[in-house]
Amino acid sequence: MAVDVLCEVSNCKFWERGNKCAADEIYVVSHKGKKAETQEETDCKTFDPGI
């Protein structure tokens, strides 16, 4: 399992200095069903603008 999860989306409430993700869990989904072929076919659903 990855020790560090990096994120460059600084307006997410889980973003921490050094582009670290501080979320307890990460939820990634595919636009194409259960199997993605490229990065562009995925999204991180953990994103929360914290507004």
Give the model's pLDDT for residue 11: 95
21-51 residue pLDDT tens: 999 999 999 998 889 999 999 998 998 888 6
- pLDDT at res. 16: 95
Q: 8-29 as b/e, with b when 16 or more CB fall inside 10 Å?
A: eeeebebbeeeeebebeeeeee
pTM of the model: 0.74
Task: Give the model's confidence band at 1: pLDDT under 50 very low, under 70 low, under 90 confident, else very high.
Answer: low
Residue-level pLDDT at 3: 79
Q: For the chain, what are the domain ranges? A: 1-51
